[in-house]
Amino acid sequence: MSDTAATWREYLTTPTPASRRQAALQRAWLSWRRFRANPTAMVGLVIILIIIAIAAFAPLLATHSPFTQNLNNRLMPWSAEHWLGTDELGRDVYSRLVYGTRVALRVIALVTIITAPIGLIIGAVAGYAGGWVDAALMRVTDIFLAFPRLILALALTTALGPGIDNAILAIGLTGWPPLARLARAETLTIRSSDFIAAAKVVGASPARIVFGHVMPLCMPSLIVRVTLDMAGVILVAAGLGFLGLGAQPPQPEWGAMIAAGRKFIFDQWWIAAVPGLAICVLSLGFNLFGDGLRDALDPKASS
């Protein structure tokens, strides 16, 4: 066992990588070493991993069904039976909290699938093409940036109709402009480098240069930004849920759970307090993780 560990280490640290893959793995290893040395970033990573594990094993961890109502047993404080008490319909708050991780992670994943490609492509194309293409694409970006994010998402969800999928769409459609700005700025610094000129000389098409050379180099700063953005996505999604425009009952979404607990805030305060804490922990995890990633992937950007 220690033998394989030693060969792995040698593979990852030898100064003369033999293949492209080995060089890439070596870079990743170096970033990981930098990341691991940062205790707050590790806290963030552990929080995220724990929450992913909770979501994966939700049926095993939950003590009750998140949907089963028991009106004889409503608004109970915590007990051995209901670890975090019950809500206004007698459902187990702890179990709903556990299943809520699935809703939250699904929102984050789907929003990222929408925002990251749109932002990356628009930004890289605008930055590389320049001229009127750049001007037009950035004008569209500026228009979307002219709305505060939540307000635009609110108006969109109202138009599309309330529901978690429409909320995801609305958050995604309002989330890409800052990413496009970032990708464009990165592209502008990359496009004038020598290796791009060399690629042009050997006859690479613009599409090949943008997708094969520019975009991969935009990735580190984009990944950092997307990770930090995930904290914001959680808060906007919870805000929409709180206003009744996101997840619909009986889905165990944390923002909607706070909204339901709001009526009982003075007497059964835990119903609203507990999901709020869960939101804080998850978005704190992404903030810490994102800060650590920035330090690890992009050492020059950190102070």
Partner 1 sequence: MPRKIAETAGSIALTILGLLLVTFVIGRVVPIDPVLAVIGENAAPGVYERTRIELGLDQPLYVQFGRFIVKAVTGDFGVSVLTARPVLDDLKRVFPATIELATLATLIGVLVGVPLGILAAVRHQSWIDHVARIVALIGHSVPVFWIGLMGLLIFYAQLGWVGGTGRQSVAFLDSVRERTGMILIDCLLDGDLDSFWDAWRHIVLPASVLGYFSLAYICRMTRSFMLEQLSKEYVTAARIKGLSEWHVVMRHAFRNIAVPLVTVIALSYGYLLEGAVLTETVFAWPGLGNYLTDSLLRSDMNGVLGGTILVGAIFIGLNLLSDLLYKLLDPRTR
Contact 293, 223 (CB under 8 A): yes
Handedness of CA 91, 63, 106, 234 (dihedral sign): positive
For position 273 contacting partner 1 by CB under 8 A, the verdict is yes
Minimum CB–partner distance for residue 270 and partner 1 (Å): 10
Candidate segments 3-11, 94-102, 203-211, 230-238, binder of partner 1 by CB under 8 A: 230-238
Closest CA to 109 of 51, 150, 32, 181: 51
Q: Does 132 bind partner 1 (CB under 8 A)?
A: no
Q: Does 242 contact partner 1 by CB under 8 A?
A: yes
Tokens coding 266: 């003075």
One of 24, 37, 52, 280 touching partner 1 (CB under 8 A)? 280
Closest CA to 116 of 175, 192, 46: 175
d(CA 261, CA 277): 13
Q: Is 164 in the site for partner 1 (CB under 8 A)?
A: no
Position among 38, 86, 221, 287 found at the interface with partner 1 (CB under 8 A):
287
Contact flag: residue 77 with partner 1 (CB under 8 A): no
Q: Find the shortest distance in angstroms from Cβ 116 to partner 1.
A: 20
56 binds partner 1 (CB under 8 A): no
> Binding of partner 1 at residue 147 (CB under 8 A)?
yes
Quick check: 149 binds partner 1 (CB under 8 A)?
yes
**Alpha-carbon span 230 to 116, nearest angstrom:** 11
Distance CA 159, CA 153 (A): 10
Which of 103, 171, 215, 258 binds partner 1 (CB under 8 A)? It is 258
Instruction: Identify which of residues 100 and 255 has a Cβ nearer to partner 1 in the complex.
Output: 255
